Amino acid sequence: MKHLFRSPRTAVLAVAALVALPIAAVAQAPDKAAQTIKYRQAALTLLGWNITPIGAMMKGEIPFDAKKVELHATRLQQVAPMIVEGFPPGTQTGAPNKAKPEIWSNMDDFKAKAADLEKASAGLVAAARTGDQKQVGQALGAVGNTCKACHDAYRAK
Ligand code: HEC
């Protein structure tokens, strides 16, 4: 901190400026939709990031590690309920995205599909805790099916 800021007051002002920027960015409506789209794509990217190593373990590309499966599956379970927040009305456009308009006309079903992922991810956490690779494989398949079900219905190709 000593090198970055000459005084504590400068440090506080600098941090305040950092925080103020994104708040200014969401103040305007078109930017707000763009921010929201970015948020949801970030959440979905987290899902892809965390499921990938589990898939690689099941394919034998990297060694099976039940502790790592538990960690990644826990993250899937935590991110799943964040998906729906990223799809408020008015965010079909505003930035490039692949969300189909049917999401907003079938919001209850979309929410149910996000809840299915959350439930399946909890199942994967439980399977990881048994340490049994076969059970992890089955639970991972169930998680993958929930991703696919939502993509087939609501993600444009
Ligand atoms: C409730 C519906 C739903 C579920 C469940 C879901 N997705 Fe998606 N996913 C979408 C939609 C809709 C998009 C397109 C969003 C957009 O472009 O704004 C998407 C996009 C993505 C993307 C691309 C993100 C980007 O940067 O554009 C990845 C990666 C992804 N999903 C992975 C997954 C994985 C892995 C799972 C399961 C663990 C999953 N998704 C479960 C609806 C879902």
What's the pLDDT score for residue 4? 54
User: In terms of Cα–Cα distance, which of 47, 30, 33 is closest to 113?
Assistant: 47
Place of tokens 């049917």: 102
What's the CA-to-centroid distance between 98 and ligand 1, angstroms?
9
Residues listed for the chain: 157
What's the pLDDT score for residue 30? 72
Q: Which two tokens stand for residue 107?
A: 């919001």
From 100, 151, 157, give the residue whose CB has the most ligand 1 atoms within 8 Å, as the site to mutate: 151
Residue by residue, pLDDT tens for the chain (157 residues) are: 445 556 666 666 666 566 655 554 444 477 999 999 999 999 999 999 999 999 999 999 999 999 999 999 999 999 999 999 999 999 999 999 999 999 999 999 999 999 999 999 999 999 999 999 999 999 999 999 999 999 999 999 9
- What is the sign of the dihedral through the CA atoms of 139, 141, 145 and 147? positive
What's the pLDDT score for residue 6? 63
Q: CA 82 → CA 78, 95, 98, 126, distances in Å?
A: 8, 19, 18, 21
What's the CA-to-centroid distance between 44 and ligand 1, angstroms?
5
